[in-house]
């Protein structure tokens, strides 16, 4: 139901979509994604063609990374001094002192200096490689929720709905 332009979900809707893994089937969620995509395209954050869907933006931000279980709960702190190399609406490239297992879920938390202080999220490791000439690793994480995409968009200066 809508009231004055604000969507107020019924309890049944919350149970069926908002509080379940089926949130991607929610019409409000889908519409929000479409609006974000349109705005991101307009401001050049979405790349048409090529290998990447989203433009990368250089960004050095400290964060903590932990291995997560399938329920997205932290299991083991891997690196409390990791740092982002770049960010996009779809994920991030980070540098860590630890190798991150490919296809694993990683919980991450930005430090208090981030645009949204202590923002935390979950991403899937798409690749991890040793950095040439050092004991460090670089990894690519794909964000797994729309909330993180919105927060990163806001951090990058993308006007949000």
Q: What CATH number is associated with residue 96?
A: 2.40.10.220
Rounded to two decimals, the pTM is: 0.66
Residue 47 is assigned to a structural domain of this protein = no
Same domain, 82 and 11: no
Same domain, 36 and 72: no
Q: Which sign, positive or negative, has the C-alpha torsion 16, 21, 26, 32? A: positive
Per-residue pLDDT of the chain (161 residues; tens, 9 = 90+): 455 667 787 888 777 777 666 666 777 777 777 776 677 666 666 555 555 567 788 889 999 999 998 888 889 999 999 999 998 888 999 999 999 999 999 999 998 888 877 789 999 999 999 988 889 999 999 988 878 888 888 887 775 54
Range of the structural domain that residue 75 is part of: 57-155
Query: Whole-angstrom Cα distance, residue 146 to residue 119?
Result: 14
Same domain, 106 and 142: yes
Query: Whole-angstrom Cα distance, residue 68 to residue 115?
Result: 24
Residue 127 Cα to chain centre, angstroms: 16
- 66 forms bridges with which residues in the sheet? 77, 107
Domain count, the chain: 2
Count the alpha carbons within 13 Å of 64 in the hemisphere toward its beta carbon.
Answer: 15
Same domain, 18 and 66: no
Q: Which sign, positive or negative, has the C-alpha torsion 57, 60, 64, 65? A: positive
């Amino acid at each position: 139901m809508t009231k004055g332009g604000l969507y107020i979900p019924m309890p049944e809707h919350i149970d069926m979509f908002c509080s379940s893994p089926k949130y991607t089937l929610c019409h409000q969620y889908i519409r929000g994604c479409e609006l974000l995509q349109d705005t991101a395209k307009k401001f050049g954050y979405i790349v048409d063609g090529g290998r990447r869907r989203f433009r990368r933006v250089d960004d050095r931000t400290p964060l903590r990374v932990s291995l997560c279980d399938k329920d997205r709960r932290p299991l083991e702190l891997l690196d409390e001094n990791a740092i982002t190399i770049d960010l996009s609406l779809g994920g991030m490239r980070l540098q860590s002192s630890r190798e991150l297992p490919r296809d694993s879920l990683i919980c991450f938390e930005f430090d208090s200096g981030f645009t949204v202080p202590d923002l935390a999220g979950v991403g899937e490791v798409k690749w991890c490689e040793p950095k040439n000439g050092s004991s460090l690793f670089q990894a690519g994480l794909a964000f797994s929720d729309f909330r993180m995409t919105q927060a990163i968009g806001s951090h990058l200066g993308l006007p949000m709905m």
